[in-house]
Amino acid sequence: MFKTLPGFREFCPEDFAKRSYIFSKWRAKAWAFGFQEFDPPVLESLSLFTEKSGEEIKSQLFEFVDKGDRAVALRPEMTPSLARMVGEKASGIRRPVKWFAIGENYRYERQQKGRLRAFFQFNADILGEESLCADAEIMALLIETLCSFGLTEKEFCLRLGDRDLWLYFLRMNGLPESYDTKVLSVIDKIEKVSAEAFLEMAQKALQDSEVDAEKFVASIKEFVKAQSLEVLEKYAENASEEFKNRLSVWRELFSMLDSMGLSKYVRCDMGIVRGLAYYTGFVFEAFQIVGTGRALAGGGRYDALVKKLGYADMPAVGFGMGDVTLADLLDLVNKNASEDNNIKVYAVIGSESLRAKALSVIFELRRKSVWIDYPLKSSNFAKQFKTANTLKAKYALIFGEEELTQNSVKVKNLVSGIEEMVSLEKINEYNFE
């Protein structure tokens, strides 16, 4: 007996309907915001990912040497492929670039609740625009997308952090710039590990520096408590000018989000750092605030990545949202549309002698994209209506001797029970809704 590989999924029709529902909402919102869809290859050069994330990323990849002796990997995320594709077209592409993608990614890691080895992700990015409006636009798309599923501020929030503020904080605490990447990577784990483990990680990151690890960790924990703009402003009273100036950008961003009616979803949270080294400014994560409080999406500004991959310098901001945790949340709050929302019609055929006439009508309706099914072999009326109920059809199209004698067909609304006779000449115009 063969089984699905660990961390991979198969989608039978009911599960596929849930997935399609999620994809349709993602796609509809991206289009509403003026984004264009793209689709990168699923297999890329291994160096594309190691250049962005370092050699250590290899342990998380499905990577191998192909028959052409090339080191390749199944993509673990979309962003490097996006940066490569836009970088290649940089000289002739209209800016800002607003692209989105819905695709499957692969990570070779231990599977757990909400994290699989194969998962679909919705990515949306704006490249070639450094203004704060691009940050606001990306955050707005993320929030509006979650709202389109019927989710509210009682079920999710966007936790907003800032890599720039953290860099100013590190300078104020005497940390040399060369330690930034290592230390920020550690700070990103402050909510994920014990206090003892965090101190140990900090000591390792600060090795060979003149910074006292215990005092430094204490100051970090104090700064992380700043979870409102008001608290940050009080913190800034004794901070550097760069720190104070950065807060004016925060105020401008919240003003934009407030104009959009979205500020109620956003929380200042310096615990959000995003461990990947390529982030350069505002960073954020959408979290569910019911159930286990898992992350639903994450992103931020990454102005240096396109240049790092060898292309023209191009600012960028974006996010990624996975389907696994989102579907789990929708199930939890009973907002996952697992049913097929198409209006379905089932043709009930009285006898084999009527089948030819029924088929001519059925296929005329199908050519008008009406969802309609019919029995492939003879069965009694009761069984056919039972099948219509199983398929969750809203209408039955009844082809009986009496109806066809009148050159008509009976349309029965299976929800209300209302029936009406419709002539065969007019059935193509019938409004099934």
54-76 pLDDT, tens digit each:
777 888 999 999 999 999 999 99
Which amino acid is present at 152? T
Could you list the beta-strand ranges (E) of 251-365: 266-268, 282-288, 295-301, 316-322, 344-349
Q: Provide CATH 3.30.930.10 ranges for the chain.
A: 1-155+289-336
pLDDT digits (tens, 9 = 90+) for 371-426: 999 999 999 999 999 999 999 999 999 999 999 999 999 999 999 999 999 999 99
The DSSP symbol for 391 reads T
Distance CA 211, CA 110 (A): 35
CA distance 68 to 62: 17
User: Do the beta carbons of residue 431 and residue 343 sit within 8 Å?
Assistant: no
Q: Going along 302-392, which residue ranges are E strands?
A: 316-322, 344-349, 371-373
Cα–Cα dist 424/143, whole Å? 48
Q: Which of 416, 393, 385 is nearest to 343 (CA)?
A: 393
| DSSP state letters, 123-153 | EEEEES--SHHHHHHHHHHHHHHHHTTT--T
Average pLDDT over residues 361-377: 95
Q: How far apart are CA 398 and CA 414, in angstroms?
A: 12
pLDDT tens per residue, range 145-178: 999 999 999 999 999 999 999 999 999 888 888 8
Instruction: Judge: domain 1-155+289-336, CATH 3.30.50.10.
Output: no
Strand, coil or helix: 232: helix
- The tokens for 33 are 């915001």
Two tokens, residue 426: 């007019």
Q: Using an 8 Å Cβ cutoff, are 72 and 298 in contact?
A: no
Q: What is the pLDDT of residue 68?
A: 96
**Assigned CATH for 344-429:** 3.40.50.800
What pLDDT, on a 0 to 100 scale, did the predictor assign at position 235? 83
Highest mean pLDDT among 128-142, 169-183, 214-228: 128-142
Q: How confident is the model at residue 338 (pLDDT cuts 50, 70, 90)?
A: low
Tell me what the mean pLDDT of segment 288-298 comes to: 91
pTM over 0.75: yes
The residue that leads in pLDDT, 139 or 90, is 139
Per-residue pLDDT at 144: 97
Cβ burial of 278 (10 Å; 0-12, 13-18, 19+) is buried
pLDDT > 60? residue 209: yes
pLDDT class of 340 with cuts at 50, 70, 90: low
Q: How confident is the model at residue 53 (pLDDT cuts 50, 70, 90)?
A: confident
For residue 103, the model assigns a pLDDT of 97
Domain(s) of CATH 3.40.50.800: residues in the chain: 344-429
120 falls in which pLDDT band (50, 70, 90)? very high
Structure tokens, 249: 């950008």
Q: For residue range 263-289, what is the model confidence (pLDDT) as tens digits?
A: 999 999 998 998 677 789 999 999 999
| Tens-digit pLDDT profile for residues 220-238 | 998 888 888 888 988 888 8
Mean pLDDT of 33-49: 96
Question: Are 384 and 348 in contact, with CB atoms under 8 Å apart?
Answer: yes
CA–CA dist 93, 71 (Å, integer): 30
Q: Is 115 helix (H, G, I), strand (E, B) or coil?
A: strand
Q: Give first-to-last CA distance, the chain, whole Å.
A: 45
Residue that is written with structure tokens 């009682």 in the block: 154
For the segment 276-305, the average pLDDT, to the nearest whole number, is 91
